[in-house]
Chains A and B, each alone.
Chain A
Amino acid sequence: MEKEFSNLYEAKDDHLYRRRKIVLLIDWFIWIVIGIFILLGSMFVPGFGSIANFRNVLLHSSILGILTIGETLTLLTGNFDLSIGSVLAFVGVVGALIAKVGVPSIITIIIMIFLGAGMGFLNGLLIRKVKLNAFIATLITMLGWRRAAMGIVEGRTIWNLPKDLCFLGSGDIGGFPVQIIIMLGLFVFFHIVLTQTKFGRHIYISGDNQQAAYNAGIDVDKVVILVFVLSGTLSAFSGLLMVGRLDAASPTFGSDSLFEAMSAGIIGGVSLQGGVGNLLMALGGVILLSVISNMLNLYGVSPYWATTVRAILLLIAVLLDLLKRRLTRYE
């Protein structure tokens, strides 16, 4: 009898240990997949394994990465921001027009960043103060800003911009592209904010259980609005990089960046229900999508399949999220 009991306890511990191991594996799932892709790529895709090509993968990641930080922050609070691509386009077009008039680039950049912050603030107000659903609120701003950008320039592209405005998007420091440095820097900064600061903890709690956050004395309105301001600012920053990278601005810029940024976050394990996920994994999602798009450019696969591969990855990510929630529920 006694022996049976001790067996049971042992079994239970073993079970728990196994469960924790699976959870850990799920947490790092994205980097494991990236490892597999890089291995396969280096073996079968000509030109994939070179250092220059890894630089290209990071260049693919830079703008998507910055947008994904903003999207991840909003996802963590249990919301989402559909307007990121439109903010990128609007801010890019307005910034380019201002620069064309002869305004010094530093002032143009400041105006662009504040414009993005203001647009994010509007999203936050619509959601928390007017009490609109995040989907409706950011759908309105998504449609509104892109149409406004088209209206302002009537579909025209603005080109030939000041060199110093383009520096952030196309310049390099000692041979290393500035846009990659900025992207990695922002990931590190926001990772520290999320994991080491009170504000970061408040984001997680607000997204996980709003009532609990409220009871704990957290001003959820303030947290969510601030997160949308950050998302708007980061989108504006992406717009600045895109304009610099292409030395041009068009209202069509960033048309499918929303879908890509959201996929990157979710594939990286950020939960749509809020409160679960972190930026290190979201960065994994960004790198994975960039590796795939880079491979498709190098290899003769029909580009239609890129979206299908992404859909499959999304499905796997969501299923793993479900599994993880089940495994950790009773601990």
Chain B
Amino acid sequence: MRKSYLIILFLVALLLTTAYAQGQLIFGYSAPGLGDEGQLNIQKGFEIGCKENGVKSITTNAQLDPEKQLRDIETLIARGVKAICAVPVDSKTIGRAAEEAMKAGIPFFTIDRGVLEGRTVLTVMADNYDAAAQAAQHLVGFLKGKYNGLAKGKVLEIMGNPAQDVAQLRHQGFIDVISKYSGIKVISKAGYWDADKAYKITLDVLTSNPDIDAVYFHADMYIPGIVEAIKAVKGVFKKVGEDGHIFILGIDGNPMALDYIRKGYIDGDMVQPLREYGKFLVPYIKAYLEKGEEALPKPGIIEKKGSHYFPAVVEETPHGRVVKLKTYYVDMNSVNDPTLWGNIPLKKEK
């Protein structure tokens, strides 16, 4: 007798949780790989955005495999999520996943990286080209300061994986600015997002080119390698402001980079709105599910007072609508800004 009561109780509980789960919105998130600080923060940003809006999120991890990402997204479709947001491993192959999701009536979004094949409802990313161009402008300023107003010198660029569009944009934006100054020579090497490769590149290039004035890096993970290699070649490390200092700046804005700026090891960093993507996107997904197309941001400019990541630019592209958030430069003067995501521990994020 008692047993049957228990079974009935269990069934009722099951029914209730299922009903609750059906009542609550569930969004799927397909991460390209969760092994680095950047992707971790992008994923957490999406999670926080979902929580703030009363949405449940399910995360899958493609482990840098485009084919696995496709299967992950198929799983999310089968799971019956109401919307899917992905960070593409490969901006082309993701097109098929987008197509399958749309066919199943599930709107498809991407953040951090765009798509080059197929269509998304909305993509939110940073302007990598612009970030690189801004970094280049700051660097030109440093070199002019060093050489009494003359823009000249030798720069080592440590790239990401040159096959990925992020690395291509961070290279092109930089080169397009620098190439206006014929006195500046750039040596570009691919570091494949590997800290030890950055160490070896800096070691070798600095040994054969002792007159290197500056290092520009594509990702914060390279910083320890660059700093330690300079120590190994020069014997001592000249900090920012000291005579003989090699200018170091790049892109990301991780807590580690902010600490290196604070200690005077590196000059500055272009901060990407990693946690902002998800927080910005989730309300739009929710509104899109209710009102459709008209809920999306219109092409033009979005202003938001008090945020470093705006004004953002909205564009209509053949692959869907794209919002490009702004990146901005942080140096010794602004590194202690409490609104920088690198200064807010993940645990303290609401």
Say whether B232 contacts A246, CB under 8 Å. no
Query: Given A157-B256, A246-B224 in contact, is the A298-B34 Cβ separation under 8 Å?
Result: no
Contacts of A210 in B (CB 8 A): none
Who on chain B is nearest to A242 by CB?
A: B196
Question: When chains A and B are docked, how far (Å) is the Cα of A154 from the Cα of B42?
Answer: 12
Q: Does A287 contact B (CB under 8 A)?
A: no
Interchain CB contact under 8 A, A245 and B189 = no
8 Å CB contact of B35 from A63, A150, A170, A298: A150
Given the interface pairs A52-B207, A157-B221, A252-B194, the reply to whether A170 lies near B201 with Cβ below 8 Å is: no
Interface bits A297-313 vs B (CB < 8 Å: 1, else 0) = 11000010000000000
CB–CB A59/B232 < 8 A:
yes
Residues on the B chain within 8 Å of A251, using CB: 35
- What is the total number of residues of chain A having a CB less than 8 Å from a CB of chain B? 36
Measured CB to CB, the closest approach of chain B to A251, in angstroms, equals 6
In the bound assembly, the distance between CA atoms of A157 and B209 in angstroms comes to 29
- A155–B192 alpha-carbon span in the complex (Å): 17
Which residues of A have CB within 8 Å of B209?
Answer: 47
Residue pairs across A and B with CB atoms within 8 Å: the count is: 97
Chain A residues near B231: list those with CB within 8 A: 170
Is A248's beta carbon under 8 Å from chain B?
yes
**B35 close to A155 (CB less than 8 A):** yes
8 Å CB interface, B185-232 against A: 189-190, 192-196, 199-201, 203-205, 207-209, 220-221, 224-225, 227-228, 231-232
> Contacts A159-B256, A250-B221, A252-B221 hold; do A298 and B200 have CB atoms under 8 A apart?
no
CB-contacts of B250-266 with A (<8 A) = 254-256, 259-260
B37 near A157 (CB under 8 angstroms)?
yes
Interface: B294 (CB within 8 A): no
Interface of B is mostly: helix
Q: A52-B207, A155-B36, A252-B195 are in contact. Are A247 and B227 (CB under 8 A)?
A: yes
- Number of B residues near A (Cβ < 8 Å) is 37
| B39 touches A (CB below 8 Å) | yes
Interface string of A247-281 (1 = CB under 8 A from B): 11011111110000000000000000000000000
Cβ of B220: which chain A residues have Cβ within 8 Å of it?
A: 157
- If the complex has contacts A160-B259, A246-B225, A247-B228, are A56 and B35 also in contact, measured as CB distance less than 8 A? no
Q: Which of A131-179 contact B (CB under 8 A)?
A: 150, 154-157, 159-160, 170, 177
What is the CA–CA distance of A47 and B195 in the complex, to the nearest angstrom?
A: 23
Which A residues are in CB contact (< 8 Å) with B40? 154-156
Shortest CB-to-CB span from B248 to chain A, Å, is 15
Contact (Cβ within 8 A) A297 B200: yes
Residues in B with CB closer than 8 Å to A47 are 207-209
Q: B256: which A residues are within 8 A, CB to CB?
A: 157, 159, 248
- What separation, in Å, do the CA atoms of A71 and B202 have in the docked complex? 28
15 A-B pairs within 8 Å (CB atoms) are namely: A56-B200, A56-B204, A155-B36, A156-B37, A157-B37, A157-B220, A159-B224, A159-B259, A177-B232, A246-B225, A251-B35, A252-B193, A254-B196, A256-B194, A303-B189
Residues of A within 8 A of B (CB): 46-48, 50, 52-53, 56, 59-60, 63, 150, 154-157, 159-160, 170, 177, 242, 245-248, 250-256, 293-294, 297-298, 303
**Given pairs A157-B224, A246-B196, A251-B35, 12 additional interface contacts (CB within 8 A):** A50-B207, A155-B39, A156-B37, A160-B259, A170-B231, A170-B232, A245-B196, A246-B228, A252-B36, A293-B200, A297-B189, A303-B190
Residues of B within 8 A of A (CB): 34-37, 39-40, 162, 189-190, 192-196, 199-201, 203-205, 207-209, 220-221, 224-225, 227-228, 231-233, 254-256, 259-260
